[in-house]
A and B are shown apart, each in its own frame.
Chain A
Amino acid sequence: MESTIIKSKDFNAYFGSNHVVKNVNIEIPKNYVIAVMGPSGCGKTTYLRCINRMHELIPGATSNGQMLLNGENVYDMHPIFVRLKIGMVFQRPNPFPNLSIYDNVIAGYKLNGIRLPKVEKDRIVEHSLNRVALWNEVKDSLNKKGSFLSGGQQQRLCIARAVAMEPDVLLFDEPTSALDPISTSTVEELFHELKTNYTLIIVTHNMQQAARVSDKTAFFYLGELVEYDDTKLMFTNPKDARTQNYITGRFS
């Protein structure tokens, strides 16, 4: 029985007077991988950033409507609290350059001022790096700075960093668009592993990726959630003409 972890009700987002996310109603079930796709400028990234309240960091950015995490409206909570439960991985890998790999993984704890005994920190680092299949590759260089890692490894480090906080949901903003094909497939394999413990919402402009990795797909167009269905159904039998056009490449 699937339970809903994230639910949006009549959710809107604006940049100033620019209405970029229009009346989104969606229910995202726990431990699913959801792909969010659509052409450039359709509002998918903005919507994603509203989930963990990163959207409001931009001057002039506002939103209204309900965004529920396990029934609680995230806009009624402290944004910090929200971001501890909902982690994010960005398009370009952004490990902290002045921290070692070890420190990068537990950066979330350090930033939040949470002091842990070394034993606990070691456990978290090893556990998180294992989750992203990076442990064996870096276990002997934990104290080095991450600049020698490849793009794909750096991105996995960022995922480990997010995972270390044990969030309920992981948001990915086009996580592989800056990576080469081999790193891309390594990261995509992770999604399958990660969904056992987390719910994943992945914004992607790559339809094939959406088809490969996700259980359900949401299609955004011009700020609206046009269609939301099981991935297999969406790609074989889309119900909306716009979805059909997008999938067949009429517009990208």
Chain B
Amino acid sequence: MMMKTGIKFRINKSGGIQVITIILAFACVIPLIAILAYIIQAGITKINWNFLTNIPKPVGETGGGIVNALVGSVIIILVASVIAIPIGILTGVYLSENRKSTLAYWCRLCIDVLQGVPSIVVGIVAYFWLVKPLGGFSALSGSVALAIMMLPIVVRSTEETLKLLPDSLKEAAFALGMPFHRVILKVIIPCGISGILSGAILSVARIAGETAPLLFTAFGNPYLTTNITKPMHSLPLLIFNYATSPYNDWHDLAWGASVILLVFVLLLNILTKQITKKWKVQL
């Protein structure tokens, strides 16, 4: 019967397409593994004590290291977090407490816009806001640029976490006579701390590897410094500069730095996943 052969063909077609889909889907894993493997094998041998504690030496001299970029990354990220996380959390609180006001609507809209702004544009803006007026590149301007990029993630995860908390929690606190700020700071935020925390960690993971916003803000520094009003180096900047240079020594430093950066970012991401899985938080 015509139908019977038609059916066999359709069943085979369905099976065939399933196979193709599986192949395509798992093909995505290949580049990631290739990249991870290559970076680790290229860079792991370059990491040693000198590497971690010296500043880069001029081309041709051995024993250079990346300590200025390491320390610089830590400081820039720390300052950015200090700026972005409290503001982000409070904004998230504002949005979860004000679902319907006009300002809340525009605020949400702006958060959405902010999330999609290309990182180079954030760098441009930070240049005009901080570098030009203060007369020079600085780690602070870099931190501000990174903070701007962190905000949408912190705000959104805070808002989502708090939205999931039952209203009865707030009501119980109010019924005990607590004023609003205590209800938020002592009850609501602690209850949602896992979601808020994972949002914060995620935002750090997001910007830890960002280079573009730092290109004309923190700019980079061949020397070790902890002064945030001066230009400062960071891992992504170092990788960019050395990778695009023609010197093999510098390539080696870049590989080593890449391993450290990659491991750091991946660890943060895995940490975030563990927290969200454990506490079943919606991000």
Contact = CB atoms under 8 A, between A and B. Distances in A.
Interface of A: 78, 80-81, 84, 112-114
A114 B3 CA distance: 9
B4 A81 contact: yes
A81 B3 contact: yes
Contacts of A84: 3
A78 B7 CA distance: 8
A78 B11 contact: yes
Contacts of A78: 4, 7-8, 11
Interface residues of B, number: 7
Looking at chain B's contact residues, the main secondary structure is: helix
B4 A112 contact: no
Given A78-B4, A78-B11, A112-B7, 4 more contacts: A78-B8, A80-B11, A81-B3, A84-B3
Interface of B: 3-4, 6-8, 10-11
B207 to A, nearest CB: 41
Nearest to A79: B11
A163 B181 CA distance: 64
Contacts of A81: 3-4, 7
Contacts of B4: 78, 81
A84 B3 CA distance: 10
B100 to A, nearest CB: 29
Contacts of B11: 78, 80
A78 B4 CA distance: 9
Nearest to B9: A113
A11 B8 CA distance: 27
A98 to B, nearest CB: 21
Contacts of A112: 6-7, 10
Contacts of B3: 81, 84, 114
B51 to A, nearest CB: 51
18 contacts: A78-B4, A78-B7, A78-B8, A78-B11, A80-B7, A80-B10, A80-B11, A81-B3, A81-B4, A81-B7, A84-B3, A112-B6, A112-B7, A112-B10, A113-B6, A113-B10, A114-B3, A114-B6
